[in-house]
Structure 1
Amino acid sequence: MPFGLYLLGLAVFAQGTSEFMLSGLVPDIARDLRVSVPAAGALTSAFAVGMVVGAPLMAAMSRRWSRRAALLGFLGTFLAVHVVGALTSSFGVLVATRVVGALANAGFLAVAVVTAVGMVEANAKGRATSVLLGGVTVACVAGVPGGALLGQVWGWRSAFWAVVVLSVPALFAIVRSVPGGGADAARVSVRGEVRALGSPRLQVALLLGALVNGATFCTFTYLAPVAISVSGLGASWVPAVLALFGLGSFVGVTVAGRIADARPVPVLVIGGVALLAGWVVFALSAGNPVAVIVLAFVQGTLSFGVGSTLITQALYAAADAPTLAGGFATAAFNVGAAVGPWVGGVVIGAGLGYRAPLWVSAGLVGVALVLGAASRLSRTARTDRAARTASSSA
């Protein structure tokens, strides 16, 4: 893999730390800004909504910029809004900074995905995607629990300042690793790319990716309250539980990245069934501290292994949309990241307890498996009909 690809991963790490670090800061933010825990949890959804809206929009806007200029502009904006977020005492302003930061993050990731797959051979998109998403998973391993630890020692604002510090070297890395080049607008028309996005294979991959990611972040957003209030581990265990989930996600992305290009169906079928079973077991055993520790790692592995494979399949299906493919893959990933925590907050607010998001995660993966199986059967039936038609014509 090209060295520049790993430097893009550094920038993704800085932004991933911001996107996910609230999982360990939700109780502190709620207490400091005098809002409910579900309201503070909605900050994750606000960021994800910005990612959903911003990914295709920013990808389209940046078609006339060089990739380096686009990446620098998006990352610079991201850095600036985190300074504002670290200083504000208004929950409304904090929500606004999350949305603007998400728009910048969405634009960056959409361009970075396209840049990454353009650095490798056409049959290595899975490995390139896994390296880039490795920045996200390292954020879960180190950045998120690190943010939780900073929040416990110096307050939640210190985690925002840490993101600012991380973003500065990423800016210099982009200057050194990504060539200036020309704009992408002349390569393929927007209309041509939009037509390519109508592929049924692509739409199924995006839908399944949104469902699986919704399951992941429904639980991940409320993993701290689950560990504290359900399992009784205590606040000091929260960084460790989050780190285990992140370590599992790194393992999942790495392993899936090595086999997703050649054997995506076994990864999705076997991994999807195991993921569903894992969420059910997690929900049933959340009161057991040992089970929570073990399943945080296992579910992190399965969630990101299956999720990253679905992103790779979306990129293969959108080969004729080189600019917008990354934007729509990013949007689908974050539809789940928006809906999952929101649904989790709804069930908690309804008085069903902190165990309820685990059941929601199981339900979302179950729906994904049913839809995936239905799509597979439908595609097989169409292929068989076409074969019979061709045989009778001959």
Structure 2
Amino acid sequence: MTQPHAPQAPLSPGRLRLVILAMALGAFAIGTTEFASMGLLPQIARDLEVSTPQAGMLITLYALGVVIGAPLVTIAAVKMPRARLLVLLIALIGLGNLLSAMAPTFSVLAAARFVAGLPHGAFFGVASLVAARLSPPGRRARSVSLVMLGLTIATMLGVPASTAFGQVVGWRSAYVIVVVVAALSTIAIWRLVPEPEGAGVTGSIRGELRALRRAQVWFALGIGSIGFGGMFAVYSYIGEIVPGVMGLGERAVPVALFVFGVGMTIGNVLAGRAADRSLYGTIFTGLIGMTVSLTVFALVAENAIAGMILLFALAITSQFMGPSLQLFLLDASPDAPSLAAALHHSALNIGNSLGAALGAAVLAAGWGLLAPAWTGVALAIAGLGIAGWSFAVHRRQQARAAVEAPTTTDGVPAVC
């Protein structure tokens, strides 16, 4: 048992790597289930006799489960030790995907995807918090990014593999793969992850809700929920865009997903290092890069090579917001970090839902398969505007603090 009042010895580098690997395995399972559905929408639509835009609602419903589940699960488990909560959450993710694999109708599958999304945000929020608390100063964002690396590796390997497998064997097999990986992660977290000191167990709902008092928390959630939606407006319909715009066959979809996954993995690693130096710089780089990538993609995507290059660039730049916004929220609400960290993934999945829904709307309106890319441009620009507003407020707070306490020497920037 962990002794809550005894000083916790720092983990050795080797042990810390194993702890992060156990949580990253859970992130891999989540990334596979979240993104594989996007590449298999045409197969799901045909098998369950619905249109592709209707099948796209599976993405929206999963994201809605994340949005609702992240705060509710975090608050409901406010007194549960963080390591034990991680075990429960990844086990529930496995259960949700088992229900998805067994769904006999589209309505049942839609309900199963919503249920599968409920533990998603809380898992990533708690895992990020645990990774940051167990890491030495100056490496917190890097450790958070390594947990998230499981998700981006899923987009590089798990999603293309499960998509290709699903095209040959059937879309249900993708969810079966997730069930197996989630089971392995459950065992690994149970055996390897310790309960860290100061892990955000406030002991009260009121304590966690303090996070919602801080303006910078809301700014960060706005950046994630709107700006990040720009990427999902395109990625959600990659199964249609690759054959319909880029002129490649349906079997090229896993290749495009692999390219996107490689870009996300590279972007995640770069973002972890950059965010330890400058949170705002990393956020601005990501949003500007997304805006440029989406604009050029919309203009040149009919050329298959250029389209692939732009998808790769979009994947890299989109990941600059993940670790940076996660650490931003942890710093913005130090006395209620669990809810703040979980809400980060609610925000990203609002972006997921918003991008997918707006993409479906412009497709249903008959505006063409490149209309989601232009929708993504608008969302990225809106996110950039919110980030600029947040930075202006941050600078005013810094100036006010300097006037009120000119002798401060701790060098810690105020982000709330």
TM-score range, shorter chain: over 0.9
Residue aligning to 1:358: 373
Matched position secondary structure for 2:276: coil
TM-score after normalising by structure 1: 0.93
**Which whole-Å deviations, capped at 9, do the CAs of 1:270-293 have from their partners, x for residues lacking one?**
332222111100111121101111
Alpha-carbon spacing, 1:329–1:93, altered in 2? closer, same or farther (3 Å): same
Q: What is the match of residue 409 of structure 2?
A: none
| Paired residue secondary structure (1:319) | coil
* Stretch deviating more after TM superposition (100-109 or 189-198): 189-198
The CA deviation at 1:383 is: 5.2
Task: State the percentage of identical aligned residues.
Answer: 34
* Match in the other structure for 1:39: 54
* Counterpart-to-counterpart distance in 2, 1:378 and 1:183: 29
Matched, 1:336 2:351: yes
Match of 1:134 among 144, 149, 170: 149
Give 1:86 shift: 1.3
2:351 & 2:53 partners in 1: Cα distance? 17
Counting only pairs closer than 5 Å after superposition, residues 194-343 of structure 1 correspond to structure 2 as 194-343=209-358
The answer to whether the 8 A contact 1:212-1:303 is kept is no
List runs of 5+ in structure 2 lacking aligned partners.
Answer: 1-12, 407-416
Which has the larger displacement, 299-308 or 4-13?
Answer: 299-308
Q: Does 2:171 correspond to 1:160? A: no
Distance 1:36 1:381 in 2: 50
1:177 alignment partner in structure 2: 192
CA–CA separation in structure 2 for the residues paired with 1:47 and 1:162: 18
* Equivalences, count: 391
Q: Is the 8 A contact 1:65 1:182 kept in 2?
A: no
2:228/2:351 contact within 8 Å kept: yes
In structure 2, what is the Cα distance between the partners aligned to 1:388 and 1:179?
A: 43
Corresponding position of 2:92: 77
CA distance in 2 between counterparts of 1:129 and 1:252 reads 13
Cα offsets for 1:279-331 (capped at 9, x unmatched): 10011112110111111111100001233322221222122213212211121
Amino acid at match of 1:286: A
Which moves more between the two structures, 374-383 or 135-144? 374-383
Name the stretch that deviates more: 47-56 or 290-299: 290-299
Counterparts in 2 of 1:384 and 1:67: CA distance versus 1, 3 Å: closer
2:38 equivalent to 1:23: yes
TM-score normalised by L of structure 2: 0.88
Deviation at 1:32, TM superposition (A): 0.5
Structure 1, unmatched stretches of 5+, are none
Q: 1:186 to 1:65 in 2, by over 3 A?
A: closer
Aligned mates of 1:220, 1:326 — CA distance in 2: 24
Residues 222 and 386, structure 2, Cα contact 8 Å, conserved in 1: no
Aligned mates of 1:68, 1:384 — CA distance in 2: 39
Tell me the distance in 1 between the aligned counterparts of 2:142 and 2:38. Answer: 28
Aligned letter for 2:27?
Answer: V
The amino acid of 1:370's aligned partner reads G
Please tell me whether the aligned partners of residues 213 and 307 of structure 1 are also in contact (alpha carbons under 8 angstroms).
Answer: no
Given residue 321 of structure 1, which amino acid in structure 2 is its aligned partner? A
CA shift digits 1:152-195 (9 cap, x unpaired) = 11111111111112122111101111236899786454323322
Measured on the aligned residues, the alpha-carbon RMSD in Å equals 2.2
Q: Take 1:68 and 1:193, find their aligned partners in 2: how far apart are those partners?
A: 18
